[in-house]
C-alpha cells in the first residue's frame, strides 16, 4: 500500500491510494460544551436531504449522548474492539489504523456492516449517565463530574483519507479538489454497500428502493456560494463553526478553524487512531474525565479543557466562540479587538460583528406608562 502522511497521527501510514490533498479542505469545529441535543441540526438536515422514500431511517446528521449513545448501534465500540490496542507515545500514534490492521488480501480495511436493527434506534442511550447510579442526596461536583454524559453531534467527516472511497470497488466515491467534500456518484454506484461497511463512523447509508448508497453531501450547493451548511446555520446552541482547515505546514492564525485546531490545539478529530484524518473537530467537554476523552479524541485533551476554562480571560478565544452561529456565511477570517469580534467572508467583507460581553441594561421595576411592575428588570 502507498504511504501517506497523516498529521493527526504524527506519522506516515498505509492508505490504498497515493496522497492527493485537495486545494481546500472543508473543516468544522463543534463545541461540545454548548450542545443541548435539541436535534435542530438533525431535522434541518433531514428536511433538506433525506425526506424521501427509502431514506426514513437516515440521519446524515445525528446527535448521540456519550458514552452510551450510538447510531448505528455500537458503531464505535465495534470498530475499536476490532482494531485492538491503540497506543500513543509523545503525540505519535504507535498502534495500527484500520488500513494497517487489515490483512490486505481479503480486505483493504477493517469494517463493520450494521444491520437494519442497528439503524433503527438513533436515540439509544440518550441522557444515560456514566459513573454508576446516583444515590439519594448525591449531586454533581465540579470541576470533573463523577456522573456525566455529553452530547456528540456527528456528520460525515469529509475525511482526508476516506475509507468509504477506498472501499468502493466501482470507484463511485470521489473527493472534490476544490473543497475536499466527499460525494457518491449515484450513476456509478451499484449498492454493493462496501462503503457502508468501510466507513467506521457509520456515515454511508444504503437506500433500498434506489439500490445505491447515500451520504452527507456537506450541503455543497450552499458551500459553493460561500454559505454554511444547514446543520451549521440552524444550530440553536451556536456550537458550530465552519470554514477551511490547512492540512500542510502553513497555518493561518486569523482563520477560525485553523486557529482552534492547529494553533490553539483545542479542537480534536473523532477517533483519529482509525487513520482517516477526519475533518470535523470537537472542543472537548470540560466536565468529563480526560482519560475517556483521550481514547476518543487523542492526546492533548487536558490542556484543551484548561484553556477552555480560562476563556473568560482569553479575549481572542472568547471572541471567536461568540462568532459561531452569528452569520449564515462561511467566515474565512476573524479578528478580535477592543471587546468586539468580527468575521469576514470570502470577499473579505464583514459579515458578523459581535460584542464579547453583551451590554446589560437595568430598567426601573415600575413601568409608569403601563402602570405595571416588571418581573424582570434586565
Ligand atoms: S442544533 Fe446545535 S445545539 Fe441543537 S443538537 Fe444540533 S448541534 Fe446540538
Ligand atoms: S466519515 Fe465515512 S462517509 Fe464520511 S468521508 Fe469519512 S469514511 Fe467517508
User: With a 6 A CB cut-off, is 33 part of the ligand 2 pocket?
Assistant: no
Which parts of the chain register pLDDT below 70? none
Q: Which ligand is nearest to the CA of 205?
A: 2
Please state, in angstroms and as integers, the Cα–Cα distance from residue 314 to each residue in 112, 130, 232, 239, 323, following that order: 43, 31, 24, 18, 15
Helix H or strand E encompassing 317: helix 315-323
Residues with CB under 6 A from ligand 1: 35-41, 63, 151, 153, 235-237, 239
Q: Supply the pLDDT for residue 20.
A: 87
Q: Supply the pLDDT for residue 188.
A: 98
Q: Which ligand is nearest to the CA of 176?
A: 2
Q: Supply the pLDDT for residue 248.
A: 85
Q: Supply the pLDDT for residue 286.
A: 96
The stretches of 22-138 forming alpha helices (DSSP H) are 40-49, 75-83, 116-119
Q: Supply the pLDDT for residue 360.
A: 87
Q: Supply the pLDDT for residue 144.
A: 76
Nearest partner of 283 among 248, 254, 318, 315, judged by Cα: 318
Q: How far is the CA of 242 from the centre of ligand 1 (A)?
A: 14
Residue 117 C-alpha cell reads as 436493527
Residue 352 C-alpha cell reads as 458578523
Taking the CA of residue 128 as centre, how many other CA atoms within 13 Å lie in the half-sphere pointing to its CB?
10
The rounded radius of gyration (Å) of the Cα atoms in the chain is: 22
User: Which of 235, 241, 285, 325 gets mutated to test ligand 1 (max ligand atoms within 8 A of its CB)?
Assistant: 235
User: Which of 239, 241, 280 gets mutated to test ligand 1 (max ligand atoms within 8 A of its CB)?
Assistant: 239
Cα–Cα–Cα angle for 138, 144, 148, rounded to 5 degrees = 60
Q: Which residue is closest in CA terms to ligand 1's atom 1?
A: 235
The CATH architecture one would assign to domain 3-283 is: 2-Layer Sandwich (3.30)
Q: Determine the longest span between alpha carbons in the chain, in angstroms.
A: 83
What are the residue ranges spanned by the domains of the chain? 3-283
Neighbours of 307 (CB within 10 A): 16
Residue 316 C-alpha cell reads as 481572542
- Specify the pTM: 0.94
Amino acid at each position: 500500500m502507498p504511504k501517506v502522511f497523516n498529521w493527526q497521527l504524527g506519522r506516515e501510514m498505509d492508505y490504498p491510494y497515493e496522497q492527493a490533498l485537495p486545494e481546500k479542505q472543508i473543516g468544522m469545529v463543534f463545541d461540545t460544551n454548548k450542545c443541548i441535543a435539541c436535534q435542530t441540526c438533525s431535522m434541518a438536515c433531514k428536511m433538506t436531504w433525506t425526506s424521501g422514500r427509502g431514506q426514513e431511517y437516515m440521519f446524515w446528521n445525528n446527535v448521540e449522548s456519550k458514552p452510551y449513545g450510538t447510531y448505528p448501534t455500537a458503531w464505535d465500540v465495534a470498530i475499536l474492539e476490532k482494531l485492538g490496542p491503540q497506543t500513543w507515545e509523545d503525540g505519535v500514534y504507535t498502534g495500527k489504523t484500520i488500513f494497517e490492521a487489515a490483512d490486505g488480501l481479503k480486505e483493504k480495511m477493517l469494517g463493520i456492516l450494521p444491520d437494519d436493527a442497528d439503524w433503527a434506534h438513533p436515540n439509544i442511550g440518550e441522557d444515560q449517565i456514566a459513573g454508576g447510579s446516583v444515590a439519594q442526596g448525591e449531586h454533581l461536583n465540579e470541576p470533573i463530574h463523577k456522573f456525566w454524559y455529553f452530547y456528540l453531534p456527528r456528520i460525515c467527516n469529509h475525511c482526508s483519507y476516506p475509507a468509504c472511497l477506498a472501499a468502493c470497488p466501482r470507484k463511485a466515491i470521489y473527493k472534490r479538489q476544490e473543497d475536499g467534500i466527499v460525494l457518491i456518484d449515484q450513476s456509478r454506484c451499484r449498492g454493493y454497500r462496501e462503503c457502508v461497511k468501510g466507513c467506521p463512523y457509520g456515515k454511508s447509508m444504503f437506500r433500498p428502493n434506489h439500490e445505491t448508497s447515500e451520504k452527507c453531501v456537506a450541503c455543497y450547493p450552499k458551500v459553493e456560494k460561500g454559505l454554511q451548511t444547514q446543520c451549521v446555520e440552524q444550530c440553536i446552541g451556536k456550537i458550530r463553526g465552519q470554514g477551511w482547515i490547512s492540512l500542510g505546514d502553513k497555518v493561518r492564525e486569523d482563520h477560525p478553524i485553523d486557529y482552534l485546531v492547529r494553533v490553539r490545539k483545542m479542537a480534536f478529530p473523532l477517533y483519529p487512531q482509525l487513520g482517516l484524518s477526519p475533518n470535523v473537530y470537537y472542543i472537548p467537554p470540560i466536565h468529563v474525565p480526560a482519560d475517556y476523552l483521550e481514547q476518543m479524541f487523542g492526546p492533548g485533551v487536558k490542556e484543551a479543557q484548561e484553556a477552555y476554562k480560562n476563556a473568560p480571560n482569553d479575549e481572542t478565544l472568547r471572541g471567536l466562540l461568540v462568532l459561531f452561529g452569528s452569520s449564515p456565511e462561511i467566515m474565512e477570517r476573524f479578528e478580535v479587538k477592543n471587546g468586539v469580534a468580527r468575521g469576514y467572508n470570502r470577499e473579505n467583507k464583514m459579515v458578523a460583528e459581535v460584542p464579547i460581553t453583551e451590554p446589560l441594561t437595568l430598567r426601573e421595576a415600575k413601568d409608569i406608562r403601563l402602570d405595571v411592575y416588571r418581573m424582570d428588570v434586565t
